[in-house]
Amino acid sequence: MSSPNFLESSPVSLSSQRRRKSAFTYRQLAQLATSATSCPLRVIAHIDLDAFYAQCEMVRLDIPPDKPLAVQQWQGLIAINYPARAFGLNRHVTITEAVKQCPDLIMQHVATWKEGDEKWAYHEDSFKNMATHKVSLDPYRLESRRILATIKDHLPAAPVSKVEKASIDEVFLDLSTHVHGIMLERFPELKGPPPYDDPTEQLPRPPTTALEWQTDALVDLDSTETEDDDPDWDDVAMVVASEIVRGVRAKIFEALKYTCSAGVARNKMLAKLGSAHKKPNQQTIIRNRAVHHFLSDFKFTKIRNLGGKLGDEIVAAFSTDTVKDLLEVPVEQLKKKIGDDTGTWLYNIIRGEDHSEVSPRTQIKSMLSAKSFRPSINTLDTAVRWIRIFVADIFSRLVEEGVLENKRRPKTLNLYHRQGAQTRSKSASIPMGRAMDETLLFDIAKGLLAQVVSEGRAWPCANLSLSVSGFEEGVTGNKGIGGFLLRGDEAKAISAAVRESSEVRNPETPPPSKRRRVEESGIQRFFGARQESSGGNSEREEQQDFHMKDEIREAHSPFDVPPSAQLASDDTPKAHAEMQSGHSDDDPSRYTCSRCNSTLLVTEQGEHDDWHFAKDLAADLAAEERTNTAAREQSRPSSTSSSTQPKGKGRGRPPNVVKAEKGQKKLQFG
């Protein structure tokens, strides 16, 4: 009837006659102790917070639990508490409809970063100010962390319990090892050794006393699987797990006042379906004998990993969206239509087979802070203010990741900029040899923005995003934090090199870390080659020479003309200024730039200043790279020579960004 694998070892496949022995073996019990993913006695829980953001707001504002509340984001509702759901509200209703259906509805807008602010806050009028505010999920992340800490506190430490954070409001727990320990205490007959020392021997049966399921929702059995069947050890394991989960939920409520729902089953996929089965504040147990019946009522598109495109493709291929129908399809046919691997996976998953691991080491690979502008933004001033917010946003998340203790830190900072249909992305390495702080990230991010701006066509800008990626474990032996740099670290610290990609991409999706860079700046190519090369000095010097020239050429290019000046003249700014000199004094609509002597329309001044600012930053970055290159060259040949520290190190910012700060002051960004 169904998957042979599992049923071989499951009591479900055996007759309902009384058996003297368990369907499970000593070996399988031993597998439970190690949380083996193939163990048929495995117990996994999924815990999901009820109406999470709504609960966060209720707790924060101390609102009585029976009051209807929804969390608002701009003109939409993103979380609805259960009292409000009783009025028929869901995420898809408009605010007008919601108030009509539930006049007493409390609507709380999410916290926002206000343009130019240093910290997010709950602003009364944020929903009217989408253009100047950015949503902050920090309050919910913070609560999520507290909940996770409470759960971990309550359970034995890994590897006895494994906790995987699956999203902002859910976790998977692998309770197998923990449950095994409790079972052995309660049922000493399980301690063995097995008869004849044979681990394939079946266990004795559990006592026939009724299992105490307390208030759990037990998923029904179908007509062929009856409650008269005596429980076996898998049922016992589920009872023990459900006790643990009830304890965890009680603890979360006691400590933090949040309710959650949970599912307990033999794997992640079933546990997740279980937690959603009865809400709020309930837990559902899917015993192995109930799996078949439980699943056959489902649309398979509700199953983990089948909600998206894959699910749609399967619906199209087999003209059905129900598990029941799909159970009829032979595995060969599944494989033929959707491929061998997916076909096999699907065949097993709809039979409740899922051996995926609860993985506590799921680590953040990147962090993105983004904002779409409606209307678009038009000045560098505004863009820099947003960059500051992105940096603050990302930095607070980095602090959570332990960057201050140098546990894990990202290698790369990426900026995405959308203008019309074109997205440009720029990235820079984050120097490893010094403490990560907001100033460092802000300086690098401004440098990237400066590159975009200096290329022209930066405005109007419809989206800006900043991300960090390439997380690495903290460098051991790195004394660079406020102290000395080891030579290897210094090499890294040098490479705050800005590189670019001319790819056009969707700015919401940061590029995969291994993407091919279409074009790299000279310096980046230089460092890339340097780090890989074991070749002699001559090769390095040649490369350096080449790239230095490259930069000089760029800095003095005849095309290197401020955009506004270009409008007025095809000449260089200097020539242009000379030609125009004198005019500006008597023409009030014109002014002469003190930096480059260009004469421009007064209305162009802002853009022109921005252009200089951008150029300064870009030049500073290039200069910094040159200084670092030189420092690195000097300290290179002999490992005993004292290293040349680039100027400015240890003062909390990368060397040679002094000029950038001037520009910043001039435009009053600081």
3-state secondary structure of 419: strand
Binder to ligand TTP among 52, 258, 373, 611 (CB under 6 A)? 52
Across 298-323, b (16+ Cβ under 10 Å) vs e yields: bebbebbebeeeebeebbeebeebbb
d(CA 239, CA 245): 10
d(CA 560, CA 554): 8
Q: What angle do CA 344, 345, 347 make, to 5 degrees?
A: 65
d(CA 454, CA 209): 78
- Cβ distance to ligand TTP smaller for residue 279 or 505: 279
- In whole angstroms, the minimum distance from the beta carbon of 46 to ligand TTP comes to 11
Which of Ca ion, ligand TTP, none has residue 383 at its interface (CB below 5 to 8 Å by kind)? Answer: none
Binding mask of the shown chain, residues 221 to 260, with x at each position contacting ligand TTP by CB under 6 A: ----------------------------------------
Q: What residues from 568 to 607 belong to the interface with ligand TTP (CB under 6 A)? A: none
- Cβ distance to ligand TTP smaller for residue 168 or 548: 168
- In whole angstroms, the minimum distance from the beta carbon of 371 to Ca ion comes to 25
- In whole angstroms, the minimum distance from the beta carbon of 139 to ligand TTP comes to 12
- In whole angstroms, the minimum distance from the beta carbon of 282 to ligand TTP comes to 11
Which of Ca ion, ligand TTP, none has residue 625 at its interface (CB below 5 to 8 Å by kind)? Answer: none
Strand order in the sheet with 217-218: 162-167, 170-174, 44-49, 260-265, 283-285, 217-218
- Cβ distance to ligand TTP smaller for residue 169 or 620: 169
- Cβ distance to ligand TTP smaller for residue 143 or 321: 143
Residue where the block lists tokens 């042979």: 4
Which of Ca ion, ligand TTP, none has residue 79 at its interface (CB below 5 to 8 Å by kind)? Answer: ligand TTP
Which of Ca ion, ligand TTP, none has residue 78 at its interface (CB below 5 to 8 Å by kind)? Answer: ligand TTP
d(CA 389, CA 382): 11
- In whole angstroms, the minimum distance from the beta carbon of 45 to Ca ion comes to 14
Q: Return the sign of the alpha-carbon dihedral for residues 191, 194, 200, 204.
A: negative
- Cβ distance to ligand TTP smaller for residue 51 or 403: 51
| Contact status: 78 vs ligand TTP (CB under 6 A) | yes
Q: What angle do CA 256, 260, 266 make, to 5 degrees?
A: 130
- In whole angstroms, the minimum distance from the beta carbon of 52 to ligand TTP comes to 4
3-state secondary structure of 357: coil
- In whole angstroms, the minimum distance from the beta carbon of 352 to ligand TTP comes to 22
- Cβ distance to ligand TTP smaller for residue 12 or 260: 260
- Answer yes or no: are the C-beta atoms of 161 and 171 closer than 8 Å: no
Which of the 8 DSSP states describes residue 299? B
Which of ligand TTP, Ca ion, none has residue 324 at its interface (CB below 5 to 8 Å by kind)? Answer: none
Size of the site for ligand TTP (CB under 6 A): 13
- In whole angstroms, the minimum distance from the beta carbon of 84 to ligand TTP comes to 11
Binder to ligand TTP among 25, 41, 48, 106 (CB under 6 A)? 48
| Contact status: 169 vs ligand TTP (CB under 6 A) | yes
- Answer yes or no: are the C-beta atoms of 477 and 486 closer than 8 Å: yes
**Burial of residue 87, with CB atoms counted within 10 A of its CB: 0-12 exposed, 13-18 middle, 19 or more buried:** middle
Which of Ca ion, ligand TTP, none has residue 279 at its interface (CB below 5 to 8 Å by kind)? Answer: ligand TTP
Q: What angle do CA 386, 389, 394 make, to 5 degrees?
A: 125
Amino acid (one-letter) located at 430: I
Binder to ligand TTP among 50, 443, 490, 616 (CB under 6 A)? 50
Q: Which of 166, 587, 184 is nearest to 192 (CA)?
A: 184
- Cβ distance to ligand TTP smaller for residue 52 or 527: 52
- Cβ distance to Ca ion smaller for residue 169 or 354: 169
- In whole angstroms, the minimum distance from the beta carbon of 151 to ligand TTP comes to 16
Q: Which residues pair with 71 in a beta bridge?
A: 79, 108
- Answer yes or no: are the C-beta atoms of 520 and 499 closer than 8 Å: yes
d(CA 648, CA 196): 74
- In whole angstroms, the minimum distance from the beta carbon of 54 to ligand TTP comes to 6
| Contact status: 164 vs ligand TTP (CB under 6 A) | no
Q: Determine the length of the chain.
A: 670
Binder to ligand TTP among 67, 246, 278, 279 (CB under 6 A)? 279
- In whole angstroms, the minimum distance from the beta carbon of 302 to Ca ion comes to 13
d(CA 554, CA 534): 29
Using CB under 6 A, which of the segments 46-54, 379-387, 526-534, 600-608 binds ligand TTP?
Answer: 46-54
Residues within the interface to ligand TTP (CB under 6 A):
48-53, 78-79, 91, 168-169, 279-280
